[in-house]
Chains A and B, each alone.
Chain A
Amino acid sequence: DGGITQSPKYLFRKEGQNVTLSCEQNLNHDAMYWYRQDPGQGLRLIYYSQIVNDFQKGDIAEGYSVSREKKESFPLTVTSAQKNPTAFYLCASSIDGGFSYNEQFFGPGTRLTVL
């Protein structure tokens, strides 16, 4: 069963705590992405990685960190520096991150709520 998995589906965090969201893909895709979705707004890119051991900041990277130690995994850490972390987080992957008409496949998402 190929695809992208995200865990957990729901996550609650107290203010001041760091939390890590998991994203795994078995599609053998090189590129992976993290987006944030807020009500009434389009998806916004947090970080992306075009290849293992490399990643780039997206449009709203402040307060977030990522790692890409394995091709299939791209975890996102929401740090206490993120001022408004409550949101729906979506992970995606594509064959590669270059300019080649890439379709992005999305995971089921993680809803993070800060209490």
Chain B
Amino acid sequence: KNQVEQSPQSLIILEGKNCTLQCNYTVSPFSNLRWYKQDTGRGPVSLTIMTFSENTKSNGRYTATLDADTKQSSLHITASQLSDSASYICVVSRVGLYGNEKLTFGTGTRLTIIP
């Protein structure tokens, strides 16, 4: 069964600290992995997209890693800011029956940054 599991479910850290969010998946055949940021009551916004051959990808203070052998990904946030408070969703893509792209969404990690 194609699944994406994220941990922790929620996380609270002090402003300025670093944190790492985890994503494990069983999606097959793997195409790419994405991390989205979703503010409360808003649509998700893409942070990174990683293919099979990419181990690390950065977007400002966000760094995603991918280990396709163990089917794990992480999102590291450096020097957190209050605006980082949001849900972070891991999404894994596979090829569908008709050659189209099919996405499996994780349930997200709810991150709260406190001053």
Interface residues of A (CB under 8 A from B): 4, 40-45, 50, 88, 90, 92, 97-109, 111
Main DSSP-derived SS at the B contact region: strand
Point out which of A42, A92, A97, A101 has the most chain B C-beta atoms below 10 A from its C-beta.
Answer: A42
Contacts of B41 in A (CB 8 A): 88, 109, 111
**Is residue B89 contacting chain A, with contact meaning CB distance below 8 A?**
yes
Q: What count of chain B residues pass the 8 Å CB interface test?
A: 24
**Complex formed: what's the CA distance from A104 to B108 in Å?**
17
The answer to whether B43 touches A42, judged by C-beta atoms less than 8 angstroms apart, is: no
Contact between B107 and A42, CB atoms less than 8 A apart: yes
Specify which of B4, B45, B46, B51 is in contact with A42 (CB 8 Å cutoff).
B4
Q: Please count the residue pairs between chain A and chain B whose beta carbons lie under 8 angstroms apart in the complex.
A: 55
- Which are the 4 A-B pairs with shortest beta-carbon distances? A106-B43, A42-B105, A43-B105, A106-B44
Main secondary structure of the interface of A (DSSP, over half): loop
Beyond A97-B101, A106-B44, 10 additional contacts (C-beta under 8 Å) are A42-B4, A42-B89, A42-B104, A42-B107, A45-B103, A50-B100, A90-B43, A101-B49, A102-B101, A109-B41
From A88, A101, A103, contact of B51 by CB (8 A)? A101
